[in-house]
A and B are shown apart, each in its own frame.
Chain A
Amino acid sequence: MPLITYREAVRHALAEEIERDRNVVVMGEEVAQFNGAYKVTEGLLARFGPERIVDTPISEAGFIGMGIGASMLGVRPVMELMFWSFYSVAFDQILNNAANVRYMSGGQIHCPIVIRGPANGGTNVGATHSHTPENVLANHPGVKVVVPATPYDAKGLLKSAIRDNDPVFFLENTMLYGEKGEVPAEEYLVPLGLADVKRQGTDLSIVTYGRSVLHSLAAAAILEKEHDVSVEVVDLRSIRPLDIDTVLASVAKTHRVLIVEEQKPFASVGAQLSYMIQREAFDELDGPIHRVTTVDAPAIYSPPIEIEQLPNPQRVLKAALEVVASSE
């Protein structure tokens, strides 16, 4: 199987869907002539021309709203946010219009739009550019939220997202763009709402998604080798819809849960997961659910300290050992 980067996987998904469906248009700041601020869309303008690959002004409320309006007429815009952090200036368009228009019209309208771009910390760009809004987005019924961790998942999920008839918010990660993984040469889809067990284990379930999957896998290897703890890593891949059944099956197997997420702790995705696990698998738990989150403050700039603010393998390792100790 070819080994390609996460960035290339996203690009290949875009290219394949542009070729497949005349209604698919890629739009965003610097996506065309500049070849993408993070080079995700590199080469697409040369290949597909300016009607399909469209540079927008720095005007998120304007162009995201425009994409939503166009989607109501059957265009399938794939809008790039240079950073998901910029969603704040298009909040009304994304979460009042795209999320609600189907409901308020009594089901007469749907918005087949995808909004994609990176949502992560770890690049020393400070608090304004480091938001991880998947919990905020998923709080709005009517939208779907996807956070892929690997090149394989990124490609298969993005293709599904573009074909979806509901608004899908696709959260990538600049720290993952250069990560390589095996991706089949032939076409495939990964359905939204299907979790993936990235590592099998018997003693502890780490429930995670996005870049934290990589940290969790790194910690799991150390736990196995140095502490004789067998860890199962469940990658949610999709936040809404949510594959809680795969999570519960893992809990029933290991009876211990550590949630790892690049989220501020208050009302995070993990908070929702914890509620659901205790509600639906209370008797399976040997101890309280633990959590590793972003340390609760705006994103710090200082490069060595930002590493400590975010989930990382050492923090996951320490928390995992605490879970095991507290349930023995």
Chain B
Amino acid sequence: MSKKSTANAEKPAEAAPSVTDYSRSPVNSRLSREQKIELHRKMVRIRRFEERSLRAYQAKKIGGFLHLYIGQEAVAVGCCSLMGKDDHIITAYRDHGHAIAVGMELNPLMAELYGKATGCSKGKGGSMHYFDPSRNFWGGHGIVGGQIPLGVGLAYGIKYKGLKGAAMAFMGDGAVNQGAVHEAYNLAALWKLPVVFVIENNGYSMGTSQARSSAGELAKRAEGYDMPWGQCNGHDVYEVRACMEKYLTLAREKHQPSTVEIDTYRYRGHSVADPDNTYRSKQEIEEYRRTKDPIQVFQQKLLAEGVLDDATIEKIDAEARAEADTAAEFSEASPFPTVDDIQKDVYWEADHPTERKSKGRLFFD
């Protein structure tokens, strides 16, 4: 069983994967040795963080849902590595990779999963709701497709303030069938807003394959809104960067929105509650792991380029494992929020009592 069995889902990039060497794309050829290693390190850190969080979940240290990004690392790392100071991102609930990719520290990210007061959202958001506006990362949103209008709003804000930036609004392949996404497409195209809609197509909206959920090509729907669109192989961080750079430049320079569909794959279930034995085969997962793992793919390229050697790879991996372990220890040792904390961070005014202008009761019992 293939994740995409529609007749027209074959992609040029997949049909002829060796035609272009994306390491030679300008956006990649100007990378320094250190920058290339950093791309690799970020992907490894995401994976080790998530593997560690899975163990914590299995040990019942983490509640609720845990949507792992394992297998998709090149997408968030590739896209976020292109961000300048006026670029912004927003994504859905599979958000750990993006958070690490924009530079958030592992301690507060892990502590958030543990529901601790030292978490990035003080234990109030959880796995699906990471935020860091200081790094232009606007979440972390739980409702499929609901974040996409907000992403268009970020683009509106960038343009209204006269800044030369772009917003990246990430969604999964399941989100393309939500009405809010199409309303957002229309507004972005109608008003020439600097946004790139990024479809991370991992082939399954929860347990329903693309072939069983979506008619036609996903990115091509942008044509209906007169937006340019593209597709790329999300297993190769070089290709992600080369592809996204083009569309980000269109957004920043010409206020031209677009949709980019990035082909990727998740090795774990939809969430850790997904037994992952009903909708795809073990062989399919193994085939992806063996031939398309984004970390392995990039590692091989960097070995061939002489940027990495086995010792450095080993060191990066050991450091990432240690960092994830440290984050878990930090989280373990951190306090939970208190019952008094429940009603903080609800109203700006309640949190800034000396600046409060309104009267009356804000909270009820």
A106 near B131 with CB under 8 A, answer yes
- Closest chain-B Cβ to A20's Cβ sits at a distance in Å of 15
A198 CA / B156 CA spacing, docked (Å):
42
Of B122, B149, B155, the residue contacting A107 (CB under 8 A) is B122
- Closest chain-A Cβ to B156's Cβ sits at a distance in Å of 5
Q: Chain A: which residue is nearest B146 at the CB level?
A: A92
Q: Helix, strand, loop or mixed for chain B's interface?
A: mixed
B359 near A103 with CB under 8 A, answer no
B249 contacts which chain A residues (CB < 8 A)? Answer: none
A69 near B120 with CB under 8 A, answer no
A106 CA / B126 CA spacing, docked (Å):
10
B345 near A103 with CB under 8 A, answer yes
Q: Which of A174-196 contact B (CB under 8 A)?
A: 189, 191-195
Q: Which of B327-347 contact A (CB under 8 A)?
A: 343-347
B358 near A65 with CB under 8 A, answer no
- Closest chain-A Cβ to B350's Cβ sits at a distance in Å of 9
Of B125, B131, B187, B351, the residue contacting A62 (CB under 8 A) is B187
B186 near A57 with CB under 8 A, answer yes
Highest count of chain A CB atoms <10 Å: which of B143, B155, B347: B347
Of A66, A144, A241, the residue contacting B184 (CB under 8 A) is A66
Confirm or deny: A127 has a beta carbon within 8 angstroms of a beta carbon on chain B. no
A245 contacts which chain B residues (CB < 8 A)? Answer: 360
State whether A108 and B360 are in contact (beta carbons under 8 Å apart), knowing that A59-B186, A142-B347 are contacts in the complex: no
- Closest chain-A Cβ to B340's Cβ sits at a distance in Å of 14
- Closest chain-A Cβ to B257's Cβ sits at a distance in Å of 12
A195 contacts which chain B residues (CB < 8 A)? Answer: 360
Confirm or deny: A206 has a beta carbon within 8 angstroms of a beta carbon on chain B. no
Q: Which of B115-171 contact A (CB under 8 A)?
A: 119-125, 129, 131-134, 138-143, 146-158, 160-161
Confirm or deny: A284 has a beta carbon within 8 angstroms of a beta carbon on chain B. no
Cβ contacts A81-121/B at 8 Å (1 or 0 each): 00000000000110011000111111111100000000000
- Looking at the complex, which of A157-165, A254-262, A298-306, A317-325 is the stretch in contact with chain B? A157-165
Q: How large is the interface on A (under 10, 10 to 19, 20 to 34, 35 or more residues)?
A: 35 or more
B151 contacts which chain A residues (CB < 8 A)? Answer: 69
Confirm or deny: A270 has a beta carbon within 8 angstroms of a beta carbon on chain B. no
B184 near A62 with CB under 8 A, answer yes
Cβ contacts A40-60/B at 8 Å (1 or 0 each): 000000000001000011010
A273 CA / B183 CA spacing, docked (Å):
38
A117 CA / B316 CA spacing, docked (Å):
56
A57 near B187 with CB under 8 A, answer yes
A141 contacts which chain B residues (CB < 8 A)? Answer: 343, 346-347, 363
Highest count of chain B CB atoms <10 Å: which of A104, A195, A242, A272: A104
State whether A62 and B139 are in contact (beta carbons under 8 Å apart), knowing that A103-B346, A106-B345, A166-B348 are contacts in the complex: no
Of B149, B179, B343, the residue contacting A66 (CB under 8 A) is B149
State whether A72 and B157 are in contact (beta carbons under 8 Å apart), knowing that A61-B149, A92-B146, A105-B139 are contacts in the complex: yes
Q: Helix, strand, loop or mixed for chain A's interface?
A: mixed
- Closest chain-A Cβ to B270's Cβ sits at a distance in Å of 20
A72 near B129 with CB under 8 A, answer no
Confirm or deny: B302 has a beta carbon within 8 angstroms of a beta carbon on chain A. no
Confirm or deny: A240 has a beta carbon within 8 angstroms of a beta carbon on chain B. yes
A66 CA / B157 CA spacing, docked (Å):
9
A67 CA / B193 CA spacing, docked (Å):
13
A3 contacts which chain B residues (CB < 8 A)? Answer: none
Of A72, A106, A110, A166, the residue contacting B150 (CB under 8 A) is A72
State whether A104 and B131 are in contact (beta carbons under 8 Å apart), knowing that A141-B346, A160-B358 are contacts in the complex: yes
State whether A241 and B361 are in contact (beta carbons under 8 Å apart), knowing that A69-B157, A106-B120 are contacts in the complex: yes
A135 contacts which chain B residues (CB < 8 A)? Answer: none
A272 CA / B143 CA spacing, docked (Å):
29
Of B121, B183, B348, the residue contacting A106 (CB under 8 A) is B121
State whether A105 and B346 are in contact (beta carbons under 8 Å apart), knowing that A69-B153, A75-B157, A96-B143 are contacts in the complex: no
A40 CA / B143 CA spacing, docked (Å):
34
B138 near A25 with CB under 8 A, answer no
Q: Which of A127-173 contact B (CB under 8 A)?
A: 141-142, 144, 160, 163-166
Confirm or deny: A74 has a beta carbon within 8 angstroms of a beta carbon on chain B. yes
State whether A192 and B359 are in contact (beta carbons under 8 Å apart), knowing that A25-B160, A61-B180, A69-B151 are contacts in the complex: yes
Highest count of chain A CB atoms <10 Å: which of B133, B153, B180, B343: B153
- Closest chain-B Cβ to A325's Cβ sits at a distance in Å of 32
Confirm or deny: B357 has a beta carbon within 8 angstroms of a beta carbon on chain A. yes
Of B119, B161, B346, the residue contacting A102 (CB under 8 A) is B346
A108 near B133 with CB under 8 A, answer yes
A241 contacts which chain B residues (CB < 8 A)? Answer: 358-362
A144 contacts which chain B residues (CB < 8 A)? Answer: 347, 358
Confirm or deny: A281 has a beta carbon within 8 angstroms of a beta carbon on chain B. no
Of B88, B131, B141, B153, the residue contacting A71 (CB under 8 A) is B153
B147 contacts which chain A residues (CB < 8 A)? Answer: 97
A192 near B348 with CB under 8 A, answer no
Which 5 residue pairs spanning A and B have beta carbons closest together? Answer: A69-B153, A65-B149, A62-B183, A193-B360, A73-B157
20 pairs from A and B in contact (CB 8 Å cutoff): A66-B153, A69-B154, A69-B156, A69-B157, A104-B131, A105-B124, A105-B125, A105-B131, A106-B125, A108-B131, A142-B346, A163-B357, A165-B352, A166-B348, A166-B349, A238-B358, A241-B361, A242-B360, A272-B364, A276-B364
